[in-house]
Amino acid sequence: MGDVEAFRAIVADVADVGHAQRVTIGPDVWIGASAAIMPGITIGTGAIIGAAAVVTHDVAPYSVVVGAPARHLRFRLRDGLLERVLASEWWLWDLRGIPGHRDYRDPAAFLERFLAARDSGLLERLRPAVVTVRDRTLHGIVADGEGNVPDPVSMII
């Protein structure tokens, strides 16, 4: 099968799932191998889904869930910092203007570097490409069958 035929097969598969409940996956989410996410579930920003987890309920932002069925293990960030990170929407910005932009070992220090760079005008907002395939809008990694301009970093299937 050539590239064009493979692409057409993928598009046909996407068109056939229009009746399914959508799964929404926020930015900065890690999903372990063989994890299963049930229809209609929302995975919040920064969540971690453990390998082989079976997610049957929505997952809170920056939550770590494991098991079958998945259960909340802990939050990745402490109270206060979690709210500040969510409010910053750091994932919407090109981080290359931040010294040490790939160093996330200390989330509080990263947040301070990000806020300083953003507030001083050193960063640009990301502008993901928009592509339309049949009635689906792809915006970055987003597919929205309703034709709406979706959140540029969430994934809606």
Confidence of residue 97 (pLDDT cuts 50, 70, 90): confident
pLDDT confidence of residue 147 = 40
Enumerate domains of the chain plus CATH numbers. 20-76 (2.160.10.10)
**Cβ neighbours around 85 below 10 Å, total:** 23
Judge residue 53's burial from the number of C-beta atoms within 10 Å of its C-beta, 0-12 exposed, 13-18 middle, 19 or more buried.
buried
Residue 36 has pLDDT above 90, yes or no: yes
pLDDT confidence of residue 144 = 38
pLDDT confidence of residue 53 = 97
Residue 29 has pLDDT above 80, yes or no: yes
pLDDT confidence of residue 96 = 87
Of all residues in the chain, what percent carry a pLDDT higher than 90? Answer: 52
Distance CA 93, CA 23 (A): 24
pLDDT confidence of residue 12 = 53
Contact 44, 61 (CB under 8 A): yes
Contacting residues for 67 by C-beta, under 8 A, at least 6 apart: 50, 53, 54
Report pLDDT digits (tens) over 5-19.
555 555 555 555 556
